[in-house]
């Protein structure tokens, strides 16, 4: 059953990290005029209303886009470009999802697909992407990943952004990635993952209990780094420290075959995000190589 709805989280710190990283990758992949392939396996509905009852339930955008706006005048480079993309949506209290962010950077001769399984989110995605380069598909993104690779054109990237509501989804990402890199070893892949606090407050009893899912991202990253690709980069950001009250205190992107010089650009991004959203650099923010070409 699909119960996850991204509107509750739209524009939070994790969306900010994911969408700026996506922009950085697409900017680098579109430097060459040759056409590229883009697949978003878990697309969501494309546009979110930040004044909706759902978005205001926990006001998660306050940890991300709304907080960044306060520093907008001082920001340069990638973050400034991201704010320029988001600004027209914000005029009507909206926030763009990954398909709309990608559409800003893709060109008419590129090939782009966005998969969404939830019927209502798909209808919204279809309507929101009507005038875009993105072809919305109402199908399982993991199944599409298998079916579409290797793609034509044979250069480009895949964004994988599952809800991770169930522990099985971590294993599913890994299993699907094993197949994907076998079919398309030269593609770039960006896999979003949550950083969860080791303990959480049980919503029924109010007691602090262990969160068994907290270790799963780390285990998944270790296995992703073993896949037969040239290099694996990890970028992660958290505006706060782990705490039972926070649940997801941060997030990261595991990037297989990152485009040339992505790491340097993301280093700068993380420093800026830390100074705008978390007050200062902390141990839960950084960029690190999980595998380099020399280790292949």
**Active-site amino acid positions:** 161
Q: For 220-235, give one letter per residue: b (16+ CB within 10 A) or e.
A: bbeebbebebebbbbb
- Nearer Cβ to ligand SAM (134/266): 134
Full DSSP string of 81-146: HHHHHHHHHHTTTEEE-HHHHHHHH--TTSEEEEE--SHHHHHHHHHHTTTSSEEEE-S-HHHHHH
Residue 194 sits in the site that holds ligand SAM (CB under 6 A) = no
- x/- site string to ligand SAM, residues 260 to 289, per CB under 6 A? ------------------------------
Number of residues binding to ligand SAM, judged by CB under 6 A: 21
- Stretch in the footprint of ligand SAM (CB under 6 A) among 36-44, 235-243, 245-253, 279-287: 36-44
Cis peptide before 150, with omega less than 30 degrees from 0?
yes
- Nearer Cβ to ligand SAM (162/250): 162
Residue 13 sits in the site that holds ligand SAM (CB under 6 A) = no
The answer to whether 10 and 52 have CB atoms below 8 angstroms apart is no
Parallel/antiparallel/unpaired status of strands 156-160 and 37-40: parallel
Residue 97 sits in the site that holds ligand SAM (CB under 6 A) = yes
Q: What's the CA gap between 108 and 129, in Å, rounded? A: 14
Q: What's the CA gap between 76 and 38, in Å, rounded? A: 27
List binders of ligand SAM among 102-141 (CB under 6 A): 115-118, 121, 140-141
- Stretch in the footprint of ligand SAM (CB under 6 A) among 26-34, 41-49, 66-74, 232-240: 41-49
Q: Shortest Cβ distance from residue 238 to ligand SAM (Å)?
A: 18
* Structure tokens given for 290: 């999980």
Binding residue for ligand SAM, selected from 27, 83, 104, 163, defined by CB under 6 A: 163
Cα dihedral sign, 12-119-183-104: negative
Query: What residues line the site for ligand SAM (CB under 6 A)?
Result: 2, 4, 6, 15, 18, 42-44, 97-98, 115-118, 121, 140-142, 161-163
């Amino acid at each position: 059953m699909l119960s996850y709805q991204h509107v509750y989280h739209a524009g939070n710190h994790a969306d900010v990290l994911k969408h700026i990283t996506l922009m950085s990758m697409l900017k680098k992949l579109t430097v060459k005029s040759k056409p590229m392939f883009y697949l978003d396996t878990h697309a969501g509905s494309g546009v979110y209303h930040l004044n909706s009852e759902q978005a205001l339930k926990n006001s998660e955008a306050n940890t991300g886009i709304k907080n960044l706006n306060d520093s907008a005048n001082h920001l340069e480079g990638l973050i400034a470009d991201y704010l320029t993309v988001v600004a027209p949506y914000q005029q009507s209290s909206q926030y763009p999802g990954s398909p709309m962010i990608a559409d800003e950077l893709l060109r008419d001769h590129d090939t782009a697909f966005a998969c969404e399984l939830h019927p209502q989110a798909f209808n919204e995605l279809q309507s929101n992407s009507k005038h875009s380069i993105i072809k919305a598909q109402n199908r399982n993104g993991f199944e599409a990943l298998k079916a579409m690779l290797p793609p034509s054109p044979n250069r480009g990237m895949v964004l994988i952004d599952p809800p991770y509501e169930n522990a099985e989804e971590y294993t599913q990402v890994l299993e699907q990635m094993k197949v994907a890199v076998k079919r398309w070893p030269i593609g770039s892949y960006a896999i979003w993952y949550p950083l969860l606090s080791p303990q959480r407050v049980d919503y029924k009893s109010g007691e602090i209990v262990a969160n068994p899912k907290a270790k799963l991202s780390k285990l998944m990253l270790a296995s992703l780094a073993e896949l037969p690709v040239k290099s694996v980069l990890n970028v992660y950001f958290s505006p706060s420290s782990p705490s039972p009250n926070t649940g997801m205190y941060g997030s990261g992107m595991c990037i297989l075959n990152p485009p040339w010089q992505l790491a340097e650009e993301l280093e700068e991004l993380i420093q800026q995000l830390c100074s705008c959203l978390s007050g200062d650099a902390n141990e839960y923010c950084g960029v690190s190589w999980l595998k380099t070409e020399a280790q292949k």
